[in-house]
Amino acid sequence: MINIKVIYKDSIKFMKLTKEQTQEIRDLQSQKNETKRVTAPNLEKILYEAIPILDHGFIRVIDYMGNDTSIVQAARVSYGKGTKQVSTDSGLIKYLMRHWHSTPFEMCEIKYHVKLPIFIARQWIRHRTANVNEYSARYSILDKEFYLPKKEHLAAQSKNNRQGRGEVLEGEQANKVLSLLKDDAERTYDNYETMLNERYDGSVVDEKEPGLARELARMNLTLNTYTQWYWKTDLLNLMNFLRLRADSHAQYEIRAYADAMLDTLKSWVPITYDAFLDYRVGGTEVSSKGNLIIQKLIKGEKIDMESSGLSKREWNELMEAFNLKDKLI
């Protein structure tokens, strides 16, 4: 289940923007442009603003196209009617969401500027339905910034989930892990500068040495080093991303970004946001066998896992989804 609580506000003091980025934000936000295109007033208020994530990361909405009315317009094109009143638009968008219509939601697009640790970027890029342009470590030197988790996010490997976390590490063990992460990141970055024969501030390490090519020196860096990219996608695929990455089962670090993006979704397309929470986040998919079981339970018939035709995992998921575990005992 997605936790829609915004979690980025506690990270404000940790975020670091370059002077150039800060000036760019000021210049962009000071613009006064007129347009005949539809806009999203609440999204306009935070356009270009850097929303802090983790210790050094952020997201920024750079640009967008369309709003809720664009979805409605696309859906009604088959019989030539334009935008109607909000209540009617809401009903249509809910219908589209409920019946898994996709193309009307593809009419809206959004572009983010994201600063994130490399290991999260490699997980994020698995969503192949976006246009991505990443900071080039072949051309420029990466920032000397590393993601170091807070102690409450240091956890052991889960015993029953191969890709999840278990109990939180405590005391000396947590301190040791943090020390290893920090020391490894700083040591490899120092070696990175040595191989480049160039420091991040532009100074030369040794004037007599030529330095290794940037495209080779970067291979030594740790995966908690920060990178940046522009990420552009349509509304349909953004919701697919958020349904998975803002879920409570997702890795905390990518969930932190998804939660903040969920807030921008609300500012951009509020009607679609409500339908998304209702039918994608709060809704439950049921198989044909599961549907038969629910029907039998409604009729008061007895049912158990052995006679259900479901696997143990399917049975448990169905019972949990409808809060039926205690009622069948």
Local mean pLDDT, 10-residue blocks, the chain (329 residues):
43 62 84 88 95 96 96 79 66 93 96 97 94 92 93 80 74 92 96 89 80 93 96 98 92 96 98 95 85 88 86 88 72
Q: What is the DSSP letter of 16?
A: -
How far is residue 71's CA from residue 108's CA, in Å, rounded to a whole number? 7
Are residues 321 and 239 part of one domain?
no
Residue 323 sits in the same domain as residue 228: no
Concatenated DSSP letters of 169-213:
P-HHHHHHHHHHHHHHHHHHHHHHHHHHTB-TTS-BS-TT-----
Q: Does the residue 9 lie in any domain?
A: yes
Q: Give a yes or no: residue 88 inside a domain.
A: yes
- Identify any residues that bridge with 233 across adjacent strands, giving them in sequence order: 110
Is 199 within the bounds of a domain? no
CA–CA distance, 230 with 134 (Å, rounded to integer): 6
Beta bridge partners of 198: 204
Query: Is this structure's pTM higher than 0.75?
Result: yes
Kindly report the backbone phi and psi dihedral angles of residue 156, in degrees, each rounded to the nearest multiple of 5, phi listed first. -75, 165
Catalytic option among 245, 255, 280, 313 = 245
Model pLDDT, residue 328: 62
DSSP secondary structure, 246-271, as one string: SBTTS-HHHHHHHHHHHHHHHHH-HH
Tell me, yes or no, whether 59 lies in a domain: yes
Assess if residue 196 is contained within a domain.
no
Q: Are both 136 and 53 inside the same structural domain? A: yes
Please tell me the total count of domains within the chain.
2
CA distance linking residue 231 with residue 109, whole number of Å? 11
Would you state the pLDDT for residue 162?
64
Quick one: 279 and 318 in the same domain?
no
Say if residue 319 is in the same domain as residue 231.
no
Q: Evaluate whether residue 186 is within a structural domain.
A: no
> In this structure, are 232 and 293 located in the same domain?
no
- Which of 4, 229, 258, 238 lies closest to 108 in space, CA to CA? 238
Residue 37 a catalytic site member:
no
Same domain, 72 and 139: yes
Same domain, 14 and 97: yes
Q: What is the C-alpha to C-alpha distance for residues 234 and 71, in angstroms, rounded to an integer? A: 12
Contacts of 197 (CB under 8 A, 6+ apart): 204, 205, 206, 209, 210, 211, 212
Question: Is 276 a domain residue?
Answer: yes
Rounded Cα gap, residues 118 and 112, in angstroms: 17
Report pLDDT for 97. Answer: 94
Query: What's the token pair of residue 88?
Result: 């009617």
Give pLDDT, residue 301.
86
| Same structural domain, 234 and 277 | yes
The Cα–Cα gap between 193 and 147 comes to: 19
Do the Cβ atoms of 127 and 240 come closer than 8 Å?
yes
- Tell whether 299 and 271 lie within a shared domain: no
pLDDT of 20: 83
CATH no. for residue 40? 3.30.1360.170
Domain containing residue 312? 288-328
Identity of the residue numbered 45 = K
Residue 244 located in a structural domain: yes
Q: What pLDDT score was predicted for residue 77? A: 78
Same structural domain, 274 and 292: no
| Shared domain check, 248 and 309 | no
